Amino acid sequence: MTEEFVRQNMKGYDSGHDWWHIERVRRLAKHINEKEALADPFIVDITALLHDTADSKFAGRNGEQGYSLIADYMDSCEMSEIKAPVLNVIRNISFSSGEKYTILNDPLLCMVQDADRLDAIGAIGIARAFNYGGFRNNPIYLPGKESENSGKSTIGHFYDKLLKLKDLMNTSTGRIIAEERHKILEKFLEQFYSEWYFVKDKR
């Protein structure tokens, strides 16, 4: 039933933020918790399920409206007891708010945030980035703006965020998976530039 609540409230999100993102984050969070054994599996699953429900970028809601929607939902199905820790994660999970909370001493937040970030890198992360860029009608690449002032291009987003995520992992399990996925980003960029700046082979 929580699945149905989440599906209903994510209508209108871009397709990189769809139900399957939620499923992947659930699976990753479960895996991390199995390795790290830091929290009750049910709370981890509920948090992963609900983590994007209040996203103010979509669905025309502001953050507070989203949080109270979740709070009311949890009260309505006897989850009031875990409401506070779950909402704490949802409030603090995003990249931008994450930067403000550099000391992450909540193991639930650590694990679900790692799971969410892992889904933004590797092959899936690349697919999601270009999907989001398309959704916003952003250019794929603005030459000369690879770092810092990257404009709004999707390749720019790699430098603004995606390439940084490996070093922002909270758990050692997350770090191991991130290392692998980070290499995919680097390989992709190398190939991307070699095709963009194609020079006929001089052999």
Chain residues that interact with ligand ADP, rule: CB under 6 A: 16, 94-95, 116, 120, 125, 128-129, 132-133, 154, 157, 161-162
If contact means CB under 5 to 8 A according to the sort of partner, which of Ni ion, ligand ADP, none does residue 166 touch? none
Q: What share of the chain is helix, strand, coil (3-state, %, to 5)?
A: 65, 0, 35
Task: Kindly state the smallest distance separating residue 146's Cβ from Ni ion, in Å.
Answer: 26
Stretch that binds Ni ion, among 45-53, 62-70, 107-115, 166-174 (CB under 5 A): 45-53
Distances in whole angstroms, Cα of residue 183 to Cα of each of 14, 32, 66, 129, 188: 26, 20, 35, 16, 8
Task: Kindly state the smallest distance separating residue 169's Cβ from Ni ion, in Å.
Answer: 15
If contact means CB under 5 to 8 A according to the sort of partner, which of ligand ADP, Ni ion, none does residue 132 touch? ligand ADP
Any contact of residue 52 with Ni ion (CB under 5 A)?
yes
Ranges within 104-143 binding Ni ion (CB under 5 A): 116
- Cα–Cα distance, 107 to 110 (Å, whole number): 5
Tokens of residue 189, six digits: 């960029």
The dihedral region occupied by 144, where left means phi > 0, alpha psi between -120 and 50, and beta the remainder, is left
Q: Would you tell me which residues interact with Ni ion (CB under 5 A)?
A: 52, 116
